[in-house]
């Protein structure tokens, strides 16, 4: 068994408006911003359990996220996201502030949101 790290795709696989779900945890959301690589605090990163801690050298996504009992903002590595458009729209209350609507399983950014 080799013990070198997984090869991470450095190119963003998702874009603003995509509906995604977390690979390990039971939540989903819509992407509102993309960082080409990790751009959060060391404290945030170090709080992730080491056995599931993602590589920093990959795109990270800001989501309007939801689970069965709450709505929140999430910051997730590309390696931990899967597409989730087959499960329909996201119910997060801020979605309408950022997006105009949904078309072909992807949200359309509001004109006012381009700044």
Domain residues for 70?
19-113
Q: Decide if 13 is inside a domain.
A: no
What's the pLDDT tens digit per position in 19-36? Answer: 999 999 999 999 999 999
The owner of tokens 């795109």 is 59
The owner of tokens 């903002």 is 73
User: pTM of the predicted model, to two decimals?
Assistant: 0.88
Q: Decide if 12 is inside a domain.
A: no
Q: Do 54 and 80 form a contact (C-beta atoms < 8 A)?
A: yes
Q: Over the chain, what is the mean pLDDT?
A: 91
How many distinct helices (H) and strands (E) make up the chain?
A: 2, 7
Q: Decide if 67 is inside a domain.
A: yes
Q: Decide if 11 is inside a domain.
A: no
Number of domains the chain contains: 1
């Amino acid at each position: 068994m080799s013990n070198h790290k997984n090869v991470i795709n450095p190119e963003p696989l998702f874009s603003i408006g995509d509906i995604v779900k977390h690979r390990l945890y039971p939540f989903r959301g819509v992407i509102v911003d993309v960082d080409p690589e990790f751009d959060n605090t060391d404290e945030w990163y170090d709080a992730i359990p080491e056995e599931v801690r993602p590589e920093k050298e990959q795109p990270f996504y800001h989501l309007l996220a939801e689970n069965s009992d709450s709505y929140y903002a999430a910051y997730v590595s590309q390696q931990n996201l899967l597409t989730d458009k087959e499960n329909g729209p996201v119910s997060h209350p801020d979605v309408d502030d950022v997006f105009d609507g949904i078309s072909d399983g992807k949200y359309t950014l509001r004109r006012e949101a381009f700044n």
